[in-house]
Amino acid sequence: MLQKTPLLQAQNRDKTGSRYCQRVRANGQLPAVVYGHKQDPVAIVLDFREAVSHFNKGEKVFRLGFEGAKDKDGGQVVLLKDLQFDHLGTNIVHADFARVDLNERIRTRVSIHLVGEAKGLKTAGAILMHPTNEVVVECVVTELPEFIELNIAELDVDQQITAAQLKLPGANMKMITDPHAILAQIVIQQEIVVGEATAAEGGPAEPEVLTAKKPEGEEAAKGAAGAAKGAAPAKDAKAAAPAKDAKPAAGGAAKK
């Protein structure tokens, strides 16, 4: 196990802070911290590409190698505990490691890899659901797998596989995740037609269409009302015109 554990070359760093870490990342390095086993936390830097390539493979246990160190066990064994990402959630900006002993039991998350083609997917409209893609297990460091395979070949429609049914690869490995957690299931995707469902249930009446043609009686009434409103200003205008013309006429008669 120890020989297969990836070795990450590390360097100690004395400075901390966001600005310093930005310069570290700009130089192609990844800031990290190592803690645990009643020892003081140690700030380190790793090669970014090397470290991230191992993270992307799902590896969690590493050996840290420091320049000039002569550890007989090949380096400090650490467990990847946490990764921090940038504000976009795409780039790794920091890593946390915990010191571990090869004989101690640890709890960590392990991803689930589905293998096989479920026979239930041959049914029309059937889809595969994978709501839980990792489980928490307890085991010694030397038994920690990179992932756990789950064979779903016999999974049929309306069937599911829970965490309690998952076969763990190690005899001394213990499942910590809720045993009722669903790892995989086959369901039938149903299409709901809203219009038909509303009609079948006696839904509310259809809304009035504003562009629909009004009854002739109603249109005639509205037309007459509009004509009456339009005629009122015209009548006032004719009545005012003679009154305005009459004033000069009256004044002219008085002068004579």
CA–CA separation, 208 and 46 (whole Å): 69
- Which residues face 255 on adjacent strands? none
Mind listing the pLDDT tens digit for each residue in 45-86? 999 999 999 999 888 889 898 875 555 445 788 999 999 998
DSSP-assigned letter for residue 224: H
Q: Are 62 and 32 in contact (CB under 8 A)?
A: no
254 versus 49: the higher-pLDDT residue is 49
Q: Which segments of the chain does DSSP mark as H helices, in order?
A: 18-26, 48-56, 194-200, 216-255
Burial pattern 210-231, b for ≥16 Cβ within 10 A else e, equals eeeeeeeeeeeeeeeeeeeeee
Q: How many CB atoms lie within 10 A of CB 242?
A: 9
Q: Are 92 and 83 in contact (CB under 8 A)?
A: yes
DSSP-assigned letter for residue 207: P
Question: What SS3 class is residue 167?
Answer: coil
pLDDT tier, 160 (very low <50, low <70, confident <90, very high otherwise): very high
CA–CA separation, 51 and 29 (whole Å): 9
Q: Is the pTM of this model over 0.85?
A: no
Q: Give me the domains of the chain, ranges plus CATH numbers.
A: 1-101 (2.40.240.10), 103-196 (2.170.120.20)
Mind listing the pLDDT tens digit for each residue in 26-46? 999 999 999 988 888 999 999
Question: What SS3 class is residue 24?
Answer: helix
Residue 226 predicted with pLDDT over 70: no
Residue 242 predicted with pLDDT over 80: no
